[in-house]
Amino acid sequence: MTTDLPGPPRERVPSLLRPGARVFVAGHRGLVGSAVVRRLTADGHEVVTRGRDRLDLRDAERTAAFLRGIRPDAVVLAAARVGGIMANSTYPVQFIEDNLRIQLSVIAGAHAAGTERLLFLGSSCIYPKHAPQPIPESALLTGPLEPTNEAYALAKIAGIVQTQSYRRQYGASYISAMPTNLYGPGDSFDLETSHVLPALIRRFHEARESGAPALTLWGSGNPRREFLHVDDLAAACVLLLERYDDDAPVNVGCGDDLTIRELAAMVADVTAYQGETRWDTGKPDGTPRKLLDVSRLTSLGFAPRIPLKEGIAETYSWWLRQRAA
Ligand SMILES: NC(=O)c1ccc[n+]([C@@H]2O[C@H](COP(=O)([O-])OP(=O)(O)OC[C@H]3O[C@@H](n4cnc5c(N)ncnc54)[C@H](OP(=O)(O)O)[C@@H]3O)[C@@H](O)[C@H]2O)c1
């Protein structure tokens, strides 16, 4: 399994993040935040975190006071209210308000504390529903959003415009990344809230455990999706903090996609499920394809290191260990 953390070769380009920089990672217990902490720590930076139990990032005054106290060189904003279609459609108020409030607190608080670098995490799911494929960064705000996550997407778009505004008005080196579908250790395997990959891992594992002769999955299996291991995302985040200083957000993906049917076959193999996989074509498929154009990131020297099948096997082992603990 992956023991050394992936990352691009460090060329001799002056870094915008000084060695041993103090970095506040907001959302450090989450899938993204925990991977960013691992990467920054491995690179020798001083990582500062604060659990939600001690600091609710929606509280602007307390967040500003905290940031004034620690005076970080950089902030990675990976704290957010995140969820699937069901949660997004049931709680749109929390999705728009919590995210707007977290962003207002953290970005304004970081600027007031003199923080030089800030990386805001957007998402590929905030591009217009009918964006061209692969999706270029320029597609942002060019068309209607997916209605089921409009409240979340609008909050995230506001976060991107907020970072751009600090750059325009104050010259702040604040940037945004747009990750594709992520997976890896730290992911949620709760079938009510999980994304497609952990859900598949769990369902195939349970089908094997119960000796089920067949497993039925939703849809035709034909939609194409892109997946990136969260350790590769974390490497990209640090690369962006070191080398990227521009207004435009940067897509973060692996530049390749596969059908859900191919993904399911990979997961069946990793979980050693021998039964048949069936497809319930009466269920909706969603967007036929979602792939990011990653040429901007690639031009900075990024290449993902973790092949999908290896990453799935590692994530599966992590989940089995969590269950056993
Ligand atoms: N996962 C993906 O596939 C994906 C893809 C594209 C973009 N992203 C983006 O990456 C970012 C992080 O996503 P994730 O998947 O890592 O989410 P996650 O696993 O749910 O983590 C979110 C983190 O935010 C923290 N948080 C939420 N509300 C908070 C509050 N009021 N005060 C303090 N902390 C709070 C949570 O704290 P607790 O641990 O206490 O709950 C958690 O640690 C999001 O902006 C998301 O849009 C994720």
Q: How confident is the model over 49-63, as pLDDT tens digits?
A: 999 999 999 999 999
Residue ranges with strand state E in the chain: 22-26, 46-48, 74-77, 117-121, 173-179, 181-183, 214-218, 224-225, 227-229, 250-252, 258-259, 276-280, 289-290
Enumerate the active-site residues. Answer: 152
Q: Is 52 in the pocket of ligand 1 (CB under 6 A)?
A: yes
Of 182, 174, 137, residue with least CA distance to 294? 137
Distance CA 95, CA 7 (A): 32
Which of 83-92, 103-112, 288-297 bottoms out in mean pLDDT, i.e. has the lowest? Answer: 83-92
Q: Is 102 in the pocket of ligand 1 (CB under 6 A)?
A: yes
Q: What's the pLDDT tens digit per position in 256-281?
A: 999 999 999 999 999 999 999 999 99
Please compute the mean of the pLDDT values over residues 304-313 and round it to a whole number. 98
CA of 92 to the centre of ligand 1 (A): 16
CA of 26 to the centre of ligand 1 (A): 9
3-state secondary structure of 214: strand
Helix axes 196-210, 308-324, angle to 10 degrees: 60
The tally of domains found in the chain comes to: 1
The whole domain housing 150 covers: 22-186+227-256+290-306
CA of 298 to the centre of ligand 1 (A): 25
Q: What tokens appear for 286 in the block?
A: 């969603």
97 inside domain:
yes
275 inside domain:
no
Q: Is 105 in the pocket of ligand 1 (CB under 6 A)?
A: no
Q: Which residue CA neighbors atom 15 of ligand 1 most closely?
A: 31
Strand partners for 179: 252
CA of 86 to the centre of ligand 1 (A): 17
Q: Is 57 in the pocket of ligand 1 (CB under 6 A)?
A: yes
Distance CA 145, CA 255 (A): 22
269 inside domain:
no
Pocket test for ligand 1, best of 82, 188, 228 (most atoms within 8 A of CB): 82
The predicted model scores a pTM of 0.95
Residue 232 contacts residue 306 (beta carbons within 8 Å): yes
The pLDDT-based confidence of 1 (bands split at 50, 70, 90) is very low
218 inside domain:
no
Q: Give yes or no for residue 157 having a pLDDT over 60.
A: yes
Which residues are annotated as part of the binding site for NADP(+)? 27-33, 121-124, 156, 179-182, 195
Which of 93-97, 189-193, 304-308, 315-319 bottoms out in mean pLDDT, i.e. has the lowest? Answer: 189-193
Residue 94 contacts residue 100 (beta carbons within 8 Å): no
What CATH number corresponds to the domain at position 100? 3.40.50.720
The pLDDT-based confidence of 215 (bands split at 50, 70, 90) is very high
Q: Is 185 in the pocket of ligand 1 (CB under 6 A)?
A: no
284 inside domain:
no
204 inside domain:
no
60 inside domain:
yes
266 inside domain:
no
